[in-house]
Structure 1
Amino acid sequence: MTKAAAEIEDDRLIRELLQNWAIWRDAGDWERFSTVWHPDGRMMATWTQGTGDEFIEISKAAWAKGVNILHFLGGISVDLAGARAIAQTKMTISQRADVEGVLCDVLCTGRFYDFIEKRADKWGIVLRQPIYEKDRMDPVTPGAVPALDRALLEQFPVGYRHLAYLQTRIGYTVKRDMPGLKGPEVEALYARGAAWLRGEPL
């Protein structure tokens, strides 16, 4: 296989990996979901941070409690550098829960920013860091209006303010310094990504 053909195949395999992440995670197909991670892979989310295995276990527990989080993917951009890659995937996170007595959907738009590596001829995720660009909260029943605690709402970054509010209200401790569309957090993430592609340690 020529170098160009090998890169095309690597790009295809990475895109397949990223799409499988969303399908298998949201379907609760935990056995196959576990295959998208390298053993040291890590997941950063607003409501939990840890290894891929830890993310699976806490996701299982959340499922058992009725936590409803779904993902929808858009375009994918892959930057390849030999056995390493940085992938960015447009996505939305949708979560439904009771907020101040009103059933609501929160829709958060952003990107998955993934550090990916090929080991023993297999691509896997080393680090998944979402970028949270904007969000909104909508009551499931038209006309119902939750009375939000504005002081609490404004404690969270604008990119995932309503998502964080909902997750806090159902009992999770939300990370408050996740990267957004602009700012020092996302610039630092881009710098880490560039270093990753240069072969530097994560």
Structure 2
Amino acid sequence: MDNTLLDRMAIRELVENWALWRDARDWDRFRTVWHPDGRMMATWFQGSAEEFIQVSEEGYARGVRILHFLGGSTTDVRGMRGIAQTKMTISQRASVDGVACDVVCTGRFYDFLEKRNDCWGLVLRQPIYEKDRLDAVSSVDVLKLNQKLLSGFPEGYRHLAYLQSRIGYKVKTDMPGLDGPALEALYAHGDGWLDGRPLAI
């Protein structure tokens, strides 16, 4: 079998393991998908993989419930480096102003990967947030959002950001979306990574 195909298969397995092990809180195995210098970017957190594990566990203890679902994936491999893009959905349930709500955000995981010591690992995960929605869990509940607060967040994840801000998280407001300068900059960083340049973000 072609080595590039084997690399792509290994990367796809890594991406799937990330979602399964993260949501199952299987942290020992979750650590294996990262290189030691790996970093995670999210609306509510930006930092090392180890810090991400810590804050995820702390959030779970406080009742935070975030789940991930994966779709199609494509991978570019050049030598010992790769960029993987995977369709995904993030879902989170929380109380918003006393109303139990579900938020669903659709986008892509944009992953910077490297093969070290014959093992692929994540160096950086940067989600792209494309669209979202927020609904009351029960159809009898009436959800009234603060429109000023809502409109202050980027379109691709404004409802996710609204919910997360309401439960106490400081949300990053310049993440890549469906289009725009942040997305173009991310693509440029990805091309540079494949060309062997240092990680620029």
TM-score (ref. length: structure 2): 0.98
Equivalent AA in structure 2 for residue 186 of structure 1:
L
Describe how 1:185-196 pairs up with structure 2 within 5 A: 185-196=182-193
Offset of residue 143 of structure 1: 3.0
Offset of residue 154 of structure 1: 0.5
TM-score (ref. length: structure 1): 0.97
What corresponds to 1:46 in structure 2?
Answer: 43
Secondary structure of 1:16's partner?
Answer: helix
Secondary structure of 1:34's partner?
Answer: helix
In structure 2, C-alpha distance between the alignment counterparts of 1:144 and 1:129, rounded to whole Å: 35
State yes or no: 1:173 paired with 2:167: no
In structure 2, C-alpha distance between the alignment counterparts of 1:138 and 1:72, rounded to whole Å: 18
Secondary structure of 2:152's partner?
Answer: coil
Q: Is the 8 A contact 1:92 1:110 kept in 2?
A: yes
Offset of residue 62 of structure 1: 0.7
In structure 2, C-alpha distance between the alignment counterparts of 1:176 and 1:196, rounded to whole Å: 24
Question: Gaps (5+ residues) in structure 1?
Answer: none
Offset of residue 145 of structure 1: 1.9
What corresponds to 1:108 in structure 2?
Answer: 105
What corresponds to 1:90 in structure 2?
Answer: 87
In structure 2, C-alpha distance between the alignment counterparts of 1:113 and 1:46, rounded to whole Å: 14
Q: 1:160 aligns with which of 141, 157, 162?
A: 157
| Structure 1 residue runs of 4 or more that deviate by more than 3 Å after TM superposition | none
In structure 1, C-alpha distance between the alignment counterparts of 2:65 and 2:142, rounded to whole Å: 20
Two-structure CA RMSD over aligned residues (Å): 0.7
Aligned length: 199
Between the aligned residues of both structures, percent identity stands at 66
Offset of residue 138 of structure 1: 1.0
Secondary structure of 1:145's partner?
Answer: coil
In structure 2, C-alpha distance between the alignment counterparts of 1:199 and 1:121, rounded to whole Å: 17
In structure 2, C-alpha distance between the alignment counterparts of 1:60 and 1:51, rounded to whole Å: 14
In structure 1, C-alpha distance between the alignment counterparts of 2:101 and 2:11, rounded to whole Å: 34
In structure 2, C-alpha distance between the alignment counterparts of 1:7 and 1:50, rounded to whole Å: 30
Q: Is the 8 A contact 1:101 1:146 kept in 2?
A: no
Offset of residue 147 of structure 1: 1.4
